[in-house]
Amino acid sequence: MTHALTLGQAALDRLMPMHLCIADCGQIHFAGPTMRKLMPPGAQGVEDIFVEARGIATGHVIGAIRAAEPGDRLALRLRHHGQLMLRGHVVAPGFGGLLLNFGFGVSLSDAVAAFGLTEGDFAPTELALELMFLQEANRAIQQELARFNRHLMLARQDAEREAHTDALTGLLNRRGLQAVMRNALDPKGGMQGFALVHLDLDNFKQVNDRLGHGAGDRLLGNVARVLGRAVRSRDHVARIGGDEFVLILGGSWTCQALTAIGMRIVQGIEAVSPEDCAVSASLGIVLSAGYGPDGIERMLDDADVALYRSKRAGKGRVSIAPLPVDAAVKPLPGPR
């Protein structure tokens, strides 16, 4: 048994929000709410809205619509958004003219972005709505993954920084110093030259013994600030344990310039010494010439030997190690 079914425009709007009802000549009778969002202002006929899928010629859209057989898919592009392809069907509704109903297909994402479409612009049963939900879920997942990766990267950077930092003074620790020295001694882009200064505090033990470890920690913090003021932004300062510090001073240096810097450091440390403790510093300095990428421990050992030469000579002094036997002897520039 066959029954006639009559639907008003309100019902069509709900069931097929992208429908378009036209006369045989192509004049627009009415359109669904979503279709109206796609139509340019003042559109009177289908030629104002669409061009054929294969080109931009005018006057052929209505012909393509009439030629569409029942069950055939009709493909048209929006005239003012040529990247958006609409696909649909054409039927004769029985009250004259033609009834078209469209969907976006693979152009859905572009259409949503271009026209600000939302869930309410689609029929609840349309697959487009499901695709929108999937795209929204995928976008949320991608954003969450990006946020997680940023947090992971920052956490890794924090962990690396913490692993290379002395907790008491905020200076580099021994591991951080070794990383700096590996880079500095790297023949492919390392420093052109540098001086390594090994510093040990004189009479530090009596600060802890007489004033307590809290006073000793405060003194170490003050020493770190003295050293920080003595170097440039491209230099490095490390606390490698107890009351021992190491400075990496980039560039080429004369012995006179290094001795002057060392004595300024000694005087700065003596100025922050607790009263009646007479804390000073002994320094041993070695130049990087003659040390290769594998020479980190050797360089530190040579600086340590120079440091203890200062200790034996009466403390509060600066000693510079001789160049290694295999170092190329080159004239150094004047004092800096």
Record the tokens describing residue 292, joined without a space.
């290769």
- How are the residues of the chain apportioned to helix, strand and coil, as percentages rounded to the nearest 5? 45, 20, 35
Sort 312 into a burial class: Cβ within 10 Å, 0-12 / 13-18 / 19+. Answer: exposed
Q: Which residue has the tokens 């992971």?
A: 152
Distance CA 269, CA 222 (A): 8
Query: What separation in angstroms does the CA of 234 have from each of 156, 230, 237, 280?
Result: 24, 12, 10, 26
Distance CA 12, CA 34 (A): 12
The alpha carbon dihedral of 260, 264, 267, 269 has a sign of negative
Nearest CA-CA partner of 239 in 296, 176, 301: 176
Q: Which residues are catalytic?
A: 243
| Pair 243, 281: CB distance under 8 Å | no
Phi-psi region of 290 (alpha: psi -120 to 50; beta: other; left: phi over 0): left
Distance CA 129, CA 133 (A): 6
Record the tokens describing residue 201, joined without a space.
């505090």
Nearest CA-CA partner of 288 in 248, 260, 258: 248
28 phi, psi to nearest 5 deg: -80, 125
